[in-house]
Amino acid sequence: MPLDHYVTLGRSGLKVSPFCLGAMTFGTEWGFGSETKDAGAILDAYVDRGGNFIDTANIYTGGNSETIIGDWFALDAGRRDRIILATKFSGNMEPGNPNGGGASRRAIIASCEASLRRLRTDYIDLYWQHWADPFTPIEETMAALDDLVRAGKVRYIGFSDTPAWKVAEAQTIARLRGWAPLIALQIEYSLLERTVEGELVPMAQAMNLGITPWSPLRSGLLSGKYDRDNRQAESAGRANSLARHFSDHAFEVVDLVKAIADAHGATPACVALAWLLVRPGVAAPIIGARTMAQLDNNLAALDLSLDPAAIARLDAASQPSLNFPAEFLPMAVANSYSGLTINGQSFTRSAR
């Protein structure tokens, strides 16, 4: 699948590449990441391959990620209109100011204006709520986002890192009031983070939200460069986020990914990404790259087709334990349709 074989995002007419380029690592302010020149080269390579979907956030590298992208746009006046640009609000850029972050009307509008300035653009294609705000009514958030859409400063909206019930509430309110609907959901999703399959993924499918998974390689663990004997992060800034993912189960999955990669003549990263690309509801995983080699390695997953047996092995090894009632319902529903086949799914009565 080439990078320029686009997909529509959720229930919208927005066409995006099957891999989104994540810009969290643009800038070195967090102790890791790409220098400005290297980030520009990565952007050039991604676009040259046909990529058109870039994702950042107001707080990434203290705002420098947005600035790097804005400066890159300024080098070529024709670039902006070819790119689907996504950024996020919620992060507080004003320490000590309780109204500097979150999802209030005040914070959303101020964050949007600041992002527009850093990005050197007059509109944002996809504006994400970065995470749920427990202190702001959802009606206020959705009304403010609708105002930005009507003003032409934002084209589409989405939610990231928000409970399924809150996303469903927001989408229902938007539909009832004729406000701009959510079109996408950004969540952590990988072979080592599948608990989203309990509530978030089914909700996204029912609500017509395109899923854009972040950390598809689990902070690099699924790239295969770490194992039981090598747990040293490449930089101090990444050490904590990586170390919390180390476990016996994680390394068992990584071992299988490596074995399947060897059998397919691919890299572990390619296998992990290829598996994610075919998951139900997934539109465009967000890949990060600090170097050109990492970008090339990630994009190679578009050319890898895993056989059914390999997918089944990966599914079994990474099977998550889901919250109630996700694991109970299939057994319960069997009591409604025992001995029948509905929409291709056959049911046998469960033991009581």
**Cβ atoms within 10 Å of 254's Cβ, excluding its own:** 24
Active-site residue, from 6, 46, 60, 226? 60
The helix (H) or strand (E) run that includes residue 253 is helix 248-264
* Separation CA 287–CA 297 (nearest Å): 10
Q: Which of 97, 87, 98 is nearest to 61 (CA)?
A: 87
- Residue 97 tokens read as 């100011």
Q: What are phi and psi of 79, to 5 degrees?
A: -65, -45
β-pairing verdict for 20-22 and 345-346: unpaired
**Is the sign of the CA dihedral 213, 214, 217, 218 positive or negative?**
negative
* Crossing angle (nearest 10°) for helices 308-317 and 268-277: 90
Residue 127 Cα distances to 90, 160, 183, 283, 304, angstroms: 11, 10, 10, 17, 31
Please confirm whether the linkage preceding 213 is cis (ω < 30° from 0). no
User: How buried is 65 (Cβ within 10 angstroms: 0-12 exposed, 13-18 middle, 19+ buried)?
Assistant: buried
Residue 49 Cα distances to 7, 76, 230, 257, angstroms: 16, 17, 34, 26
* Separation CA 51–CA 3 (nearest Å): 6
**Cβ atoms within 10 Å of 270's Cβ, excluding its own:** 25
Specify whether 60 is catalytic: yes
The residues carrying an active-site annotation are 60
